[in-house]
Amino acid sequence: IRVYVPRDAAALAVGADDVAQALLRECAARGLAIDLVRNGSRGLLWLETLVEVETASGRVAYGPVMAADVPALLDAGLLQGQPHALCHGLTEQIPYLAQQERLTFSRVGVIDPLSLADYAAHGGWQGLKAAAAMAPEAVVQQVLDSGLRGRGGAAFPAGIKWKTVAAAAGSQKYIACNADEGDSGTFADRLLMEGDPYCLIEGMAIAALAVGATQGYIYVRSEYPHAIATLNEAIDRASAAGWLGRNVAGSGKAFELQVRKGAGSYVCGEETAMLESIEGKRGIVRAKPPLPAIEGLFGKPTVINNVITLATVPVILAKGAAFYQGYGMGRSRGTLPFQIAGNIARGGLVEKAFGLSLRALVEDFGGGTVTGRPIKAIQVGGPLGSYVAPADWDDPLDYEAYAAKGNVVGHGGLVVHDDAANMAQLARYAMEFCAVESCGKCTPCRIGSTRGVEVIDRITSNTGAVHAANVALLESLCDTMVNGSMCAMGGMTPYPVRSALSHYPQDFGIKSAPAA
């Protein structure tokens, strides 16, 4: 009997190893033979540790399971998929999962992450095989036609980046994967790297064949030790099997891959600071131009894409650009793995085509707040993203529609707050975060963020004319940071500040919203 217990960090954090040990111990004591598979997480984080049992009708889910629950679950017939208070029926029919459109995450939580046989049996390497049989220009064209845009936050068309690198002069080119997933409320990169590492490796190998790169780096934040270990093991196994190395998938072309561990700086998620860090230097932002596609890592043409962008490439090459392009709306094609976090009853990962609303994500999928109180605010797109106005929670999620209202979709992270949240304090936190994480290269960010904390403190502790003057000063400071900062760190910190001020003026002691 095959039983699945996730090895994902989110599951380990709530005792998955203890559950696995308890299962092995109890089954041995009862003379029951089980084949225990440590899979990735399905992304239904409120159900972790999610134990699944393979039955004739499919995998049956139990969760959240604690080690102490194991004897009673076995008594109730867990190994036969029998009902229990913790049983959710067939995993694939749990509404949270059944209503998703999993293209990039189709294997995550399903397979043994390091099993090459499992990966191949679930459609793995089909995209790379197709790419190896195509001309490099045709591979780039597939990515262009798919409409895939960078999933790290900037949403720049991936195919245009690839085309630029492919056309750039130089025999040495690189693929750099940005896995410095530092946004609040985000975990999609980690879930994929731990749950389906070959998918990222395959995407990077396809990129290498397309642009003529021979060396790749995955820059992973140090806070992700499980992802780093999984990737290193997966790279070794993929190399031994001929999917990496001197003759990638029989193409006659070479591509080597290495993991580089970051050192915990948020700004190293900015692509040029990441390049500095991979080169062994302090992670500070480089001025652009030159673009990294022309002069990137070690001064050579470099494709820089986020984990999800690269991990989406295999399905595009395997099923064709038109298949992927068929999902989404407007210029936002395909799917995005949304990550629902914060004060939420059912936190987790939801991969859906662009076009659904924030309300559908936090209410239908998320189930409202875990405290049961009304939702007050939702920050979308990480610590530099706006608090989306409650009046806009029914808008379709799409890059252009969001940008038109001064919001960002970013990496798809949502952080939910209930009505106990103080938005002035959250705005202060945004400035404080910027002050701590600023690389210090430009003045509006380095100094502006510290002045921002001070001004918000004055706003929340003064009244009358002094108060009004400080609100105006905060607006002016935000203008300076937006227009004068060199990168998104200083340039976008005003997004959460201004949106909090605009949509929740009462928390700043303002009776009505300030004039635009």
| Contact between residue 249 and residue 291 where contact means Cβ atoms under 8 Å apart | no
The residues with which 387 forms a beta bridge, in sequence order, are 379
Q: Which stretch binds ligand SF4 (CB under 6 A): 82-90, 109-117, 209-217, 487-495?
A: 487-495
What does the buried/exposed string (b/e) look like for 342-364 if buried means 16 or more CB atoms within 10 Å of the residue's CB?
A: bbbbbbbbbbbbbbbebbbbbeb
- CB 442 → ligand SF4: shortest distance, Å? 3
| CA distance linking residue 269 with residue 367, whole number of Å | 31
Q: Is 408 in the site for ligand SF4 (CB under 6 A)?
A: no
- 469: which 2 tokens? 């003057």
Q: Is 485 in the site for ligand SF4 (CB under 6 A)?
A: yes
Q: Is 285 in the site for ligand SF4 (CB under 6 A)?
A: yes
| CA distance linking residue 305 with residue 11, whole number of Å | 27
Q: Give the contact letters, 208-247, x = binds to ligand SF4 (CB under 6 A), - = no.
A: ----------------------------------------
- 280: which 2 tokens? 């062994």
- CB 481 → ligand SF4: shortest distance, Å? 8
- CB 190 → ligand SF4: shortest distance, Å? 23
In three-state secondary structure terms, 463 is coil
CA-angle at 471, arms to 470 and 472, nearest 5°: 90
# of chain residues touching ligand SF4 (CB under 6 A) = 14
Q: Which stretch binds ligand SF4 (CB under 6 A): 33-41, 389-397, 479-487, 507-515?
A: 479-487
Task: Supply φ then ψ for residue 248, to 5 degrees.
Answer: -65, 115
| CA distance linking residue 46 with residue 348, whole number of Å | 7
- CB 406 → ligand SF4: shortest distance, Å? 19
Q: Which stretch binds ligand SF4 (CB under 6 A): 67-75, 328-336, 357-365, 480-488?
A: 480-488
Q: Which is nearer to ligand SF4, 130 or 486 (CB)?
A: 486
Q: Which is nearer to ligand SF4, 91 or 485 (CB)?
A: 485
Q: Please give the C-alpha separations between residue 492 and each of 162, 176, 443, 457, 486, in angstroms, as whole numbers.
A: 27, 24, 14, 20, 11
- The residue from 103, 200, 349, 487 that contacts ligand SF4 (CB under 6 A) is 487
Q: Give the contact letters, 416-445, x = binds to ligand SF4 (CB under 6 A), - = no.
A: ----------------------xxxxx--x
Q: Is 477 in the site for ligand SF4 (CB under 6 A)?
A: no
Q: Which is nearer to ligand SF4, 339 or 449 (CB)?
A: 449
| CA distance linking residue 196 with residue 206, whole number of Å | 16
- CB 484 → ligand SF4: shortest distance, Å? 9
Q: Is 446 in the site for ligand SF4 (CB under 6 A)?
A: yes
| CA distance linking residue 165 with residue 161, whole number of Å | 6
Residues of the shown chain interacting with ligand SF4 in the complex, contacts defined by CB under 6 A: 267, 285, 438-442, 445-446, 485-487, 489-490
